[in-house]
Amino acid sequence: MNAKIIGTGWQLPAYEADNDYLSTLVETSDEWITERTGIRKRHLAKEETTTSLAAGAAKKALADAGLPAEEIDLLIVATITSDTVTPSTACRVQAELGAVHAVAFDINAACSGFLYAVHMADAFIKSGVYRKALLIGAETLSKLVDWTDRGTCVLFGDGAGAAVLAASDQGGIAAQSLGSNGSKWEVLSCMGRPNGNPVCREQREPGYLQMNGQEVFKFAVKTVPLCIEDALEKAGLSPDDIDHFLLHQANKRIIQSVAKRLKQPEEKFPMNIGQCANTSAASLPILLAQMKEQGRLHPGEKLVLSGFGAGLTWGACVMEW
Ligand code: ACO
């Protein structure tokens, strides 16, 4: 038995901020952002929260799968922007959906979070512990971003994507490859809220998301192709066998570089970065759900999903649709 995606959904905040709007906040331009990243606009939460976006995407995924929420027995939300430190976003989404039989928890693996969730759900479904999993990547990165730092604030957006996985004897997840390198954690981090403990003198200042963009860029273009090749080897496939490579939407130039290293045409690498920017853990499930909605995925096609992010973390997953 393999775990197979049987439904997908996505949800973005209503408010759209284009690059010209950002140039009213920091010294930047549409030309710089578009050329360096491929991003033209992003959706920013006004009324929406990580929980409401996650629940919105999840409801669509359940409807797409034709499943009532009560049938879900595993609910994982991948996020670094939970609305509450505790409880988890997953528990709040569970309440919103009425997924009363689900074990619900969050995972934090930044932009690789959705792939880490797929990895866990696949293992649980293959071993028979759970039968039907609802996986959500949801972020409101706008609340972690320093809106005075042009090096980061232009890159990120808010949104959520969801997928329902179920046991199947046809197709599904064939192989995965995941990794982490905690020794590089300072390349991309967010120290978060102040520490009010009266007996502790904290060594670091709390703060917004900070990133060494060039280090992340170099890490991504080197690690993502290796990780994809590892997953493909485990599946007994080559890059030529793959119909669609869905990569984390962080930077158009990173995606183009990975395509080149794998010697594959760019047309096999769908992108929505122009409209959504980098939505971290939500990026892959949003892209997947939009492709499904647009009728661009067909039974029997072979897909690779791959991402990378803070941690550092990375992953790739090979599946038959
Ligand atoms: N507008 C105009 N100029 C800018 C902007 C901006 N928004 N941002 C930076 N610049 C300037 C810099 O100050 C610098 O100016 P200088 O030459 O006078 O010093 C110049 O542009 C070049 O800056 P670089 O940082 O060298 O630009 P680079 O080509 O590396 O592009 C970028 C920066 C887009 C961030 C790139 O490095 C990148 O995409 N890196 C990967 C980031 C990434 O994928 N992050 C997501 C990880 S996901 C997660 O886990 C959350």
> Does the C-beta of 32 come closer than 6 Å to ligand 1?
yes
Residue 96 bridge partners (DSSP): none
pLDDT at 202: 67
> Does the C-beta of 28 come closer than 6 Å to ligand 1?
yes
Query: Distance between CA 142 and CA 43 in Å, rounded?
Result: 9
- The model's pTM: 0.96
Backbone angles phi, psi at 316, to 5 degrees: -145, 150
Peptide bond into 135 cis (omega under 30): no
> Looking at the chain, how many residues does it have?
321
Query: Annotated catalytic residue: which of 43, 91, 111, 244?
Result: 111
| 111 annotated active-site | yes
> Does the C-beta of 19 come closer than 6 Å to ligand 1?
no
pLDDT at 127: 94
Joined together, the tokens standing for residue 297 give 């995925």
Per-residue pLDDT of the chain (321 residues; tens, 9 = 90+): 889 999 999 999 999 999 999 999 999 999 999 999 999 999 999 999 999 999 999 999 999 999 999 999 999 999 999 999 999 999 999 999 999 999 999 999 999 999 999 999 999 999 999 999 999 999 999 999 999 999 999 999 999 999 999 999 889 999 999 999 999 999 999 988 778 888 887 666 778 999 999 999 999 999 999 999 999 999 999 999 999 999 999 999 999 999 999 999 999 999 999 999 999 999 999 999 999 999 999 999 999 999 999 999 999 999 999
Query: Distance between CA 7 and CA 202 in Å, rounded?
Result: 45
Query: Annotated catalytic residue: which of 227, 248, 272, 276?
Result: 248
Edge-to-edge strands of the sheet including 103-107? 2-11, 158-168, 132-140, 74-78, 103-107
> Does the C-beta of 37 come closer than 6 Å to ligand 1?
yes
For 158, other C-beta atoms within 10 Å of its C-beta total 29
> Does the C-beta of 278 come closer than 6 Å to ligand 1?
yes
> Does the C-beta of 207 come closer than 6 Å to ligand 1?
no
pLDDT at 203: 66
Atom number in ligand 1 closest to CA 220: 44
Ligand 1 geometric centre to CA of 213 (Å)? 5
Do the bridges between strand 244-247 and strand 302-309 make them parallel or antiparallel, or are there none, so unpaired?
A: parallel
The interaxial angle of helices 252-261 and 30-37, nearest 10 deg, is 20
- Look at ligand 1, atom 9, and give the residue with the nearest C-alpha: 151
Ligand 1 geometric centre to CA of 187 (Å)? 13
Ligand 1 geometric centre to CA of 214 (Å)? 7
Ligand 1 geometric centre to CA of 189 (Å)? 16
| 278 annotated active-site | yes
Query: Distance between CA 313 and CA 111 in Å, rounded?
Result: 8
pLDDT at 172: 96
Least Cα distance to 308 among 261, 251, 239, 241 occurs for 251
Joined together, the tokens standing for residue 235 give 């599946």
Encode the chain in three state secondary structure. Answer: CEEEEEEEEEECCCEEEEHHHHCCCCCCCHHHHHHHHCCCEEEECCCCCHHHHHHHHHHHHHHHHCCCHHHCCEEEEECCCCCCCCCCHHHHHHHHHCCCCCEEEEECCHHHHHHHHHHHHHHHHHHCCCCEEEEEEEEEHHHCCCCCCHHHHCCECEEEEEEEEEEECCCEEEEEEEEECHHHHHHEEEEECCCCCCCCCCCCCCEEEEECHHHHHHHHHHHHHHHHHHHHHHHCCCHHHCCEEEECCCCHHHHHHHHHHCCCCHHHCCCCHHHHCECHHHHHHHHHHHHHHCCCCCCCCEEEEEEEECCCEEEEEEEEC
